[in-house]
Amino acid sequence: MGVPLRVVSYNIHSQRDDTAALAAVVRAATPDVVIVQEGPRRFRWRQKSATLAESFGLVVAAGGLPALGNLLLTSLRVQVLGTRCQRFPLTPGRHLRGAAYADCRVGDARFTLAGSHLSTDPAERPSQATEFKRGLDAATSPVLAGADLNEGPDGPAWATVSRGLTDAAVAADRAERLTYSCADPRRRIDALFVDPRITVVDYDVVDTPQTRRASDHFPVLVDLLLPATD
């Protein structure tokens, strides 16, 4: 038997939409971990991150300004053993991008939680994907990586990040579910990739009136079974 874990990966659009709806969406999902893109990254980012986590009923594990808005949140069920943040090389005139990582334990299972948000510029994304993949490959426990890749499964950055990992949507036969935009769903640019040793039990892109008010991206909700390591 594996250890169950519920994961949400969510670009929250810098909390520029209906924040009450955002909190309600995440609380209703009852996740063990949330991988946030476009989280707090500027003035008073620690306080803002803590407030966001509290609104979700979670705590901050890693990220924020050091990871350039990528934020990892966990329930008290999850023990965080170590964290690290990564910044990708800056292309002059472009936005900084990065990633966050947390080494975690839940029950008898250890795993590495990771999140990133790649550039909207197709010329920048491949090198950022390579940097993110380097961080994933350095993990010493099975990886769960959530990301807004800003391109679909046919893109080169997607191919780089997904190499050797399982695309949860494909594993659940739900790859037709689109994640962006809430106003006009037309692309699957948000993904959760997991180590092949992790079982994908269920996958959903949560499309409700509430999620359409909460952000410009739909949240990705995935139920997993982690392999016991003890």
pLDDT digits (tens, 9 = 90+) for 83-103: 999 999 876 656 789 999 999
Task: Give the chain's mean pLDDT.
Answer: 96
- Whole-number pLDDT of residue 86: 94
- Look at the chain and report how many structural domains it folds into: 1
pLDDT digits (tens, 9 = 90+) for 137-154: 999 999 999 999 999 999
CA neighbor of 22 nearest in space, from 42, 8, 5: 8
- Whole-number pLDDT of residue 92: 62
- Whole-number pLDDT of residue 89: 84
- Whole-number pLDDT of residue 230: 61
pLDDT digits (tens, 9 = 90+) for 46-55: 999 999 999 9
Task: Identify the band that residue 185 occupies on the pLDDT scale cut at 50, 70 and 90.
Answer: very high
Burial class (CB in 10 A: 0-12, 13-18, 19+), 47: exposed
User: Mean of the pLDDT values across residues 202-226?
Assistant: 98
Relative to beta strand 33-37, strand 3-11 is: parallel
Q: Phi/psi of residue 145, each to 5°?
A: -120, 120
CATH number of residue 37's parent domain: 3.60.10.10
CA neighbor of 27 nearest in space, from 62, 54, 60: 54
Output the pTM of the full model: 0.97
- Whole-number pLDDT of residue 96: 82
Residue range of the domain that includes 143: 3-226
- Whole-number pLDDT of residue 107: 94
Spell 68-95 as b/e; 16+ CB within 10 A means b. bbbbbbbbeebebeebbbbebeeeeeee
Task: Identify the band that residue 42 occupies on the pLDDT scale cut at 50, 70 and 90.
Answer: confident
Find out whether the peptide bond into 181 is cis, omega within 30 degrees of 0. Answer: yes
- Whole-number pLDDT of residue 169: 98
Distance CA 15, CA 45 (A): 13
Question: Among residues of the chain, what percentage have pLDDT more than 70?
Answer: 97
Neighbours of 198 (CB within 10 A): 25
19-24: long-range contacts (C-beta < 8 A, 24 or more apart)? 19/55, 19/214, 21/210, 21/211, 21/213, 21/214, 22/55, 22/214, 22/215, 23/55, 23/56, 24/210, 24/214
Distance CA 7, CA 204 (A): 11
CA angle 16, 68, 78 (to 5 degrees): 90
